[in-house]
Structure 1
Amino acid sequence: MRGDQRGLPVVKLTLVVACALVDADNRVLVAQRPEGKALAGLWEFPGGKMEPGERPEETLIRELAEELGITVKEACLAPLTFASHGYETFHLLMPLWVCRRWDGMVQRKEHQALKWVRAGKLRELDMPPADAPLIPPLIDLLGP
Protein backbone atom coordinates (compact mmCIF):
# COMPACT_ATOMS: atom_id res chain seq x y z
CA MET A 1 0.00 0.00 0.00
CA ARG A 2 1.34 3.42 -0.91
CA GLY A 3 1.81 6.11 1.67
CA ASP A 4 0.96 9.79 1.64
CA GLN A 5 3.42 12.62 2.39
CA ARG A 6 3.21 11.82 6.11
CA GLY A 7 3.82 8.11 5.53
CA LEU A 8 0.20 7.19 6.27
CA PRO A 9 -1.39 4.55 4.04
CA VAL A 10 -3.51 5.85 1.17
CA VAL A 11 -6.97 4.35 1.31
CA LYS A 12 -9.20 4.12 -1.73
CA LEU A 13 -12.47 5.91 -0.96
CA THR A 14 -15.57 4.51 -2.66
CA LEU A 15 -18.76 6.56 -2.69
CA VAL A 16 -21.96 4.53 -2.99
CA VAL A 17 -25.42 6.03 -2.60
CA ALA A 18 -28.39 4.10 -1.23
CA CYS A 19 -32.11 4.64 -0.90
CA ALA A 20 -34.67 3.42 1.60
CA LEU A 21 -37.84 3.19 -0.47
CA VAL A 22 -40.76 3.33 1.96
CA ASP A 23 -44.21 2.02 0.98
CA ALA A 24 -47.64 3.12 2.24
CA ASP A 25 -47.38 0.58 5.10
CA ASN A 26 -44.06 2.09 6.31
CA ARG A 27 -42.07 -0.91 5.10
CA VAL A 28 -38.61 -0.55 3.54
CA LEU A 29 -37.52 -2.26 0.32
CA VAL A 30 -34.38 -4.39 0.45
CA ALA A 31 -32.76 -6.20 -2.45
CA GLN A 32 -30.68 -9.37 -2.44
CA ARG A 33 -27.28 -8.98 -4.11
CA PRO A 34 -26.95 -11.15 -7.23
CA GLU A 35 -24.66 -14.15 -7.60
CA GLY A 36 -21.28 -13.28 -9.07
CA LYS A 37 -21.00 -9.93 -7.27
CA ALA A 38 -19.13 -9.13 -4.08
CA LEU A 39 -21.25 -9.92 -1.01
CA ALA A 40 -23.61 -12.02 -3.16
CA GLY A 41 -26.77 -13.13 -1.38
CA LEU A 42 -26.71 -10.35 1.22
CA TRP A 43 -29.63 -7.92 1.53
CA GLU A 44 -29.01 -4.25 0.79
CA PHE A 45 -30.74 -0.97 0.12
CA PRO A 46 -31.04 -0.20 -3.61
CA GLY A 47 -28.48 2.21 -5.04
CA GLY A 48 -24.99 2.10 -6.45
CA LYS A 49 -21.66 3.70 -7.23
CA MET A 50 -21.49 7.26 -8.43
CA GLU A 51 -20.24 7.84 -11.96
CA PRO A 52 -17.70 10.64 -12.60
CA GLY A 53 -19.47 14.00 -12.84
CA GLU A 54 -22.69 12.70 -11.28
CA ARG A 55 -24.33 14.21 -8.22
CA PRO A 56 -25.50 11.71 -5.58
CA GLU A 57 -29.17 12.38 -6.32
CA GLU A 58 -28.59 11.80 -10.04
CA THR A 59 -26.92 8.50 -9.23
CA LEU A 60 -29.89 7.37 -7.16
CA ILE A 61 -32.39 8.34 -9.84
CA ARG A 62 -30.36 6.42 -12.45
CA GLU A 63 -29.76 3.38 -10.24
CA LEU A 64 -33.39 3.09 -9.13
CA ALA A 65 -34.51 3.17 -12.77
CA GLU A 66 -31.91 0.55 -13.78
CA GLU A 67 -32.36 -1.78 -10.77
CA LEU A 68 -36.07 -1.44 -10.07
CA GLY A 69 -37.70 0.10 -13.15
CA ILE A 70 -39.10 3.08 -11.24
CA THR A 71 -38.89 6.82 -11.86
CA VAL A 72 -37.93 9.00 -8.92
CA LYS A 73 -37.90 12.80 -8.89
CA GLU A 74 -35.09 14.53 -7.04
CA ALA A 75 -37.60 16.47 -4.89
CA CYS A 76 -38.82 13.12 -3.50
CA LEU A 77 -35.38 12.16 -2.13
CA ALA A 78 -34.70 13.17 1.48
CA PRO A 79 -31.22 12.61 2.96
CA LEU A 80 -31.38 10.69 6.25
CA THR A 81 -27.98 9.44 7.38
CA PHE A 82 -24.73 7.87 6.14
CA ALA A 83 -22.40 4.99 6.82
CA SER A 84 -18.60 5.09 6.86
CA HIS A 85 -17.04 1.63 6.85
CA GLY A 86 -13.54 0.32 6.25
CA TYR A 87 -13.31 -2.83 4.17
CA GLU A 88 -9.98 -4.59 3.58
CA THR A 89 -9.17 -2.93 0.25
CA PHE A 90 -11.21 0.30 0.37
CA HIS A 91 -13.21 2.64 2.58
CA LEU A 92 -16.92 2.96 1.83
CA LEU A 93 -18.85 6.17 2.33
CA MET A 94 -22.58 5.57 1.80
CA PRO A 95 -25.21 8.29 2.24
CA LEU A 96 -28.79 7.02 2.62
CA TRP A 97 -31.82 8.85 1.28
CA VAL A 98 -35.48 8.09 1.99
CA CYS A 99 -38.04 8.08 -0.79
CA ARG A 100 -41.80 7.66 -0.29
CA ARG A 101 -42.99 8.64 -3.79
CA TRP A 102 -42.06 7.22 -7.19
CA ASP A 103 -43.68 6.40 -10.50
CA GLY A 104 -44.01 2.83 -11.76
CA MET A 105 -44.12 -0.58 -10.15
CA VAL A 106 -41.03 -1.88 -8.36
CA GLN A 107 -39.58 -4.75 -10.41
CA ARG A 108 -36.66 -7.10 -9.82
CA LYS A 109 -34.22 -6.32 -12.65
CA GLU A 110 -30.72 -6.92 -11.24
CA HIS A 111 -31.19 -8.59 -7.85
CA GLN A 112 -31.95 -12.17 -6.85
CA ALA A 113 -34.96 -11.07 -4.83
CA LEU A 114 -36.76 -8.04 -3.40
CA LYS A 115 -38.78 -7.77 -0.21
CA TRP A 116 -40.54 -5.16 1.89
CA VAL A 117 -39.70 -5.28 5.62
CA ARG A 118 -40.40 -3.26 8.74
CA ALA A 119 -37.44 -1.15 9.85
CA GLY A 120 -37.28 -3.06 13.14
CA LYS A 121 -36.78 -6.33 11.24
CA LEU A 122 -33.79 -5.11 9.19
CA ARG A 123 -31.34 -6.35 11.84
CA GLU A 124 -32.64 -9.89 11.27
CA LEU A 125 -31.44 -9.83 7.65
CA ASP A 126 -27.99 -10.84 6.49
CA MET A 127 -26.75 -7.41 5.32
CA PRO A 128 -23.28 -6.04 4.52
CA PRO A 129 -21.51 -4.69 7.63
CA ALA A 130 -21.58 -1.14 6.24
CA ASP A 131 -25.41 -1.15 6.38
CA ALA A 132 -25.66 -1.64 10.17
CA PRO A 133 -25.38 2.07 11.13
CA LEU A 134 -28.17 2.92 8.66
CA ILE A 135 -30.76 0.86 10.53
CA PRO A 136 -31.24 2.86 13.79
CA PRO A 137 -32.12 6.13 11.99
CA LEU A 138 -34.67 4.21 9.89
CA ILE A 139 -36.21 2.74 13.04
CA ASP A 140 -36.32 6.24 14.58
CA LEU A 141 -38.06 7.57 11.45
CA LEU A 142 -40.45 4.70 10.73
CA GLY A 143 -40.82 2.90 14.04
CA PRO A 144 -40.11 -0.76 14.66
Structure 2
Amino acid sequence: MSATEATDRVPVDVAVGVLFDAQGRFLLCSRPEGKVYAGHWEFPGGKLEAGETVEQALRRELIEEIGITIGPAQPWRVHVMDYPHARVRLHFCKVRAWTGGFEMREGQQMAWSRLPVEVAPVLPGTLPVLDWLAEEAAGD
Protein backbone atom coordinates (compact mmCIF):
# COMPACT_ATOMS: atom_id res chain seq x y z
CA MET A 1 0.00 0.00 0.00
CA SER A 2 1.36 3.41 -0.90
CA ALA A 3 1.54 6.32 1.55
CA THR A 4 -1.19 8.06 -0.46
CA GLU A 5 -3.52 5.09 -0.09
CA ALA A 6 -2.90 4.98 3.66
CA THR A 7 -3.75 8.66 4.12
CA ASP A 8 -6.83 8.41 1.89
CA ARG A 9 -8.47 6.03 4.35
CA VAL A 10 -11.02 7.68 6.60
CA PRO A 11 -9.97 7.21 10.22
CA VAL A 12 -12.20 5.46 12.72
CA ASP A 13 -12.57 7.49 15.92
CA VAL A 14 -11.65 5.59 19.07
CA ALA A 15 -11.95 6.76 22.69
CA VAL A 16 -9.09 5.55 24.88
CA GLY A 17 -8.79 5.74 28.66
CA VAL A 18 -5.46 6.22 30.39
CA LEU A 19 -6.52 5.25 33.92
CA PHE A 20 -4.26 6.15 36.82
CA ASP A 21 -4.54 4.63 40.30
CA ALA A 22 -3.61 6.35 43.58
CA GLN A 23 0.00 5.10 43.24
CA GLY A 24 0.38 6.74 39.82
CA ARG A 25 0.32 3.45 37.92
CA PHE A 26 -1.61 3.20 34.66
CA LEU A 27 -3.87 0.39 33.47
CA LEU A 28 -3.08 -1.75 30.45
CA CYS A 29 -5.32 -4.52 29.14
CA SER A 30 -4.57 -7.32 26.71
CA ARG A 31 -6.60 -7.52 23.51
CA PRO A 32 -8.97 -10.48 23.65
CA GLU A 33 -8.74 -13.58 21.49
CA GLY A 34 -10.50 -13.18 18.16
CA LYS A 35 -9.58 -9.50 17.77
CA VAL A 36 -6.85 -8.08 15.55
CA TYR A 37 -3.60 -7.98 17.54
CA ALA A 38 -5.00 -10.45 20.10
CA GLY A 39 -2.72 -10.65 23.14
CA HIS A 40 -1.15 -7.24 22.58
CA TRP A 41 -1.36 -4.80 25.49
CA GLU A 42 -3.17 -1.49 25.15
CA PHE A 43 -5.07 1.17 27.04
CA PRO A 44 -8.78 0.30 27.28
CA GLY A 45 -11.42 1.92 25.11
CA GLY A 46 -13.26 1.50 21.85
CA LYS A 47 -14.92 2.98 18.79
CA LEU A 48 -17.28 5.91 18.96
CA GLU A 49 -20.82 5.11 17.90
CA ALA A 50 -22.89 7.55 15.82
CA GLY A 51 -23.69 10.68 17.81
CA GLU A 52 -21.41 9.87 20.75
CA THR A 53 -18.84 12.22 22.21
CA VAL A 54 -15.43 10.85 23.12
CA GLU A 55 -16.33 10.85 26.82
CA GLN A 56 -19.68 9.10 26.21
CA ALA A 57 -17.97 6.41 24.13
CA LEU A 58 -15.24 5.93 26.71
CA ARG A 59 -17.78 5.64 29.51
CA ARG A 60 -19.81 3.04 27.54
CA GLU A 61 -16.78 1.03 26.42
CA LEU A 62 -15.26 0.77 29.89
CA ILE A 63 -18.52 -0.46 31.36
CA GLU A 64 -18.82 -3.02 28.54
CA GLU A 65 -15.18 -4.16 28.55
CA ILE A 66 -13.92 -3.90 32.13
CA GLY A 67 -17.00 -3.29 34.29
CA ILE A 68 -16.20 0.11 35.75
CA THR A 69 -18.00 3.45 35.58
CA ILE A 70 -15.53 6.28 35.13
CA GLY A 71 -15.63 9.72 36.70
CA PRO A 72 -14.46 12.73 34.69
CA ALA A 73 -12.40 12.02 31.57
CA GLN A 74 -9.79 14.69 30.87
CA PRO A 75 -9.12 14.99 27.11
CA TRP A 76 -5.37 14.68 26.67
CA ARG A 77 -4.00 13.91 23.19
CA VAL A 78 -5.22 12.81 19.76
CA HIS A 79 -3.07 10.57 17.58
CA VAL A 80 -3.75 8.95 14.19
CA MET A 81 -2.39 5.42 13.66
CA ASP A 82 -2.30 3.59 10.36
CA TYR A 83 -2.65 -0.13 10.87
CA PRO A 84 -2.83 -2.58 7.95
CA HIS A 85 -6.49 -3.31 8.81
CA ALA A 86 -7.63 0.25 9.64
CA ARG A 87 -6.71 3.88 10.14
CA VAL A 88 -7.72 5.00 13.63
CA ARG A 89 -7.90 8.40 15.30
CA LEU A 90 -7.18 7.72 18.95
CA HIS A 91 -8.65 10.21 21.44
CA PHE A 92 -6.70 9.67 24.68
CA CYS A 93 -8.29 10.80 27.94
CA LYS A 94 -6.83 10.70 31.43
CA VAL A 95 -9.07 9.14 34.06
CA ARG A 96 -8.31 9.19 37.78
CA ALA A 97 -11.65 8.19 39.32
CA TRP A 98 -14.09 5.33 38.77
CA THR A 99 -16.55 3.14 40.62
CA GLY A 100 -17.09 -0.59 40.46
CA GLY A 101 -14.73 -3.52 40.50
CA PHE A 102 -12.64 -4.50 37.51
CA GLU A 103 -14.24 -7.33 35.56
CA MET A 104 -12.49 -8.46 32.42
CA ARG A 105 -15.68 -9.10 30.44
CA GLU A 106 -13.97 -10.10 27.18
CA GLY A 107 -11.55 -12.59 28.70
CA GLN A 108 -8.67 -10.14 28.54
CA GLN A 109 -6.00 -9.60 31.18
CA MET A 110 -5.18 -6.40 33.04
CA ALA A 111 -1.99 -5.04 34.55
CA TRP A 112 -1.21 -1.90 36.54
CA SER A 113 2.03 -0.59 35.08
CA ARG A 114 4.79 1.94 35.45
CA LEU A 115 7.51 2.88 32.99
CA PRO A 116 9.16 0.92 31.57
CA VAL A 117 6.22 -1.44 31.08
CA GLU A 118 6.84 -5.09 31.85
CA VAL A 119 4.07 -6.55 29.68
CA ALA A 120 4.60 -7.45 26.04
CA PRO A 121 3.88 -7.21 23.22
CA VAL A 122 2.51 -3.68 23.31
CA LEU A 123 0.10 -2.51 20.60
CA PRO A 124 1.78 0.01 18.25
CA GLY A 125 -0.86 2.65 19.06
CA THR A 126 0.12 2.42 22.72
CA LEU A 127 3.78 3.27 22.15
CA PRO A 128 3.31 7.05 21.65
CA VAL A 129 1.41 7.22 24.95
CA LEU A 130 4.28 5.57 26.78
CA ASP A 131 6.60 8.19 25.25
CA TRP A 132 4.27 11.02 26.34
CA LEU A 133 4.10 9.62 29.87
CA ALA A 134 7.90 9.43 29.97
CA GLU A 135 8.13 13.07 28.78
CA GLU A 136 5.69 14.16 31.48
CA ALA A 137 7.61 12.23 34.15
CA ALA A 138 10.88 13.85 33.03
CA GLY A 139 9.27 17.27 33.34
CA ASP A 140 8.16 16.70 36.96
CA distance in 2, matches of 1:40, 1:108: 15
Gap runs ≥5 in structure 1: 2-7
CA distance in 1, matches of 2:103, 2:14: 21
CA distance in 1, matches of 2:137, 2:73: 16
Q: Report the AA paired with residue 45 of structure 2.
A: G
1:108 is aligned to 2:104: yes
> Structure 1 residue 13: deviation in Å?
1.3
Q: Secondary structure at the match of 1:121?
A: coil
2:121 maps to which residue? 126
For residue 28 of structure 1, the aligned residue among 21, 26, 29 is 26
Give the alignment's TM-score, normalised by structure 2: 0.85
Q: Evaluate the alpha carbon distance shift between residue 99 and residue 138 of structure 1 in structure 2; reply closer, same or farther with a 3 A threshold.
A: same
Give the alignment's TM-score, normalised by structure 1: 0.83
Q: Secondary structure at the match of 2:46?
A: strand
Percent of residue pairs bearing the same amino acid type: 34
Q: Report the AA paired with residue 130 of structure 1.
A: G
> Structure 1 residue 45: deviation in Å?
0.4
> Structure 1 residue 14: deviation in Å?
1.1
Larger CA Rg, structure 1 vs 2: 1
Q: Evaluate the alpha carbon distance shift between residue 51 and residue 121 of structure 1 in structure 2; reply closer, same or farther with a 3 A threshold.
A: same
CA distance in 2, matches of 1:142, 1:101: 20
Q: Secondary structure at the match of 2:99?
A: coil
Matches within 5 A, 1:1-144: 9=5, 10-73=8-71, 76-118=72-114, 120-122=115-117, 125-141=120-136
Q: Report the AA paired with residue 95 of structure 1.
A: H
> Structure 1 residue 20: deviation in Å?
0.9
Q: Evaluate the alpha carbon distance shift between residue 104 and residue 89 of structure 1 in structure 2; reply closer, same or farther with a 3 A threshold.
A: closer
> Structure 1 residue 35: deviation in Å?
0.8
Gap runs ≥5 in structure 2: none
Q: Secondary structure at the match of 1:57?
A: helix
CA distance in 1, matches of 2:66, 2:135: 26
> Structure 1 residue 142: deviation in Å?
5.2
